[in-house]
Chain A
């Protein structure tokens, strides 16, 4: 099979492209595949996608000029900069551009409330209740000590305890399995 682009070389790369939900097959030679890959990266670059999204949220977010001129007091990045480069400047940008970012995040992720993990250095919502529910085991004790270590900002100890808990839980599972197989 000959390459679909140059019609000269043997096609060695077989691509499936999706454009506007239409699927097309492309059979390319080495050289044309390389060119195509660079072109596609530019075409579907994340910053383009984002620029589109930012434009959209701007329409929702009231006065155009106000949004563009807003500046992060910590790093100096403006909302206009963000629109151009598709990247925020620092953690404080999230506060500075909060009212515009909320709708944008919602549009990208379909949600705007984090429900995943929390850094060990912050109070853990899930941890205390789970420690309570397995009262009596040594794992419970470890978990209480972990919470204490976190509260006292003893992170090395906290990390060590975290490992110890994992180890203890693994052992518990293994002994359970052994008992079952006997």
Chain B
């Protein structure tokens, strides 16, 4: 596999399949792991960091799920390629900005991605489409077990996996679920939901930006606590909370359909109309309108459309993707034109 092959495929976690995929976009688990007696990346000398690249690469080559994955040295990539990987949720923005002695290992399905020398020596991530933390856990647990045989993990019986930042110490695990909650937003119930989540020590983030609370109607919810609970307990807690949010969103959708059907249909079809006809469109308007299109599709108001196609458009319409599709650098204005063109082409019946 080659980096440029990725643009012509849909990441497996975006397929729009799996349990509750009308509300849940994806389930993701990441594990933070470090090597013992090796300075953490921010504190490491160049030689130490390079040694980590060598030993982790060798370990990946012996791990079943990672054997045929690509190992990308980030220093060798240009800015658009790095941004492209961030937009596909395969690595953090931080990893793209400071890329000395950093690497990314990605499988061809894009379900597994391991950042090397980010905040920790290893940040292992597994993503699945829909609400399926159990399957996600099975995959990442197996990868972690194999790697723990090849690499001397930093671990203490008392505090578990030792991480650069003490907020990750313990299991080193963060489970998160990306939700699409348009009905809770429209019916102005979302604030209550978010308040309740914050009290249960879960974090909410937006679709792209880490600093923003929400973008469009997308919310990423994850656990904060990583020490003192078993992995299965942490995931169980997330499943419990997410299950309730799904139920509330379903109810809110039913109420909208029953009491405000015309308003809803109007908003959805206007969004569809704009997407199909616009010649200039910004990325935030795109997210907002695609969210409505997705809702229309999930409610069965718009038929004959693949959910995976809508999901894919969220990713394809971002700056680095547009520039890779065009094959050259584009200004902000040129991107708005290209974005509209891509959307029109994909939505053509």
Residues on A lying within 8 angstroms of B by beta carbon are 12-18, 21, 23, 30, 33, 36-41, 44, 46, 50, 74-75, 77, 85-92, 94, 101, 104-105, 108-122, 155-156, 158-159, 162-163, 166
Contact = CB atoms under 8 A, between A and B. Distances in A.
A105 B169 contact: yes
Given A87-B43, A101-B166, A120-B149, A37 B64 contact: no
A88 B166 contact: yes
A108 B167 contact: yes
Interface in B113-137: 119
A16 B158 CA distance: 39
Given A37-B209, A90-B43, A116-B160, A30 B282 contact: yes
Contacts of A46: 165, 167
B212 A120 contact: no
Given A114-B158, A114-B160, A159-B146, 7 more contacts: A41-B209, A108-B167, A114-B156, A114-B227, A155-B148, A155-B150, A166-B142
Contacts of A13: 212, 215, 284
Given A119-B155, A121-B148, A105 B40 contact: no
Contacts of B326: none
Contacts of B144: 117
Given A18-B198, A38-B211, A155-B149, A92 B142 contact: no
B123 to A, nearest CB: 14
Interface of B: 34-40, 42-43, 62-64, 119, 138, 141-142, 144-146, 148-150, 152-167, 169-171, 173, 190-191, 194-195, 198, 209-215, 225-231, 282-285, 288
A156 B61 CA distance: 12
A109 B215 contact: no
A162 B148 CA distance: 13
B228 A110 contact: yes
A112 B142 contact: no
B155 A118 contact: yes
A40 B171 contact: no
Nearest to A13: B284
A14 B166 CA distance: 33
Given A23-B195, A114-B157, A166-B142, A44 B167 contact: no
Contact of B149 (A37, A77, A94, A121): A121
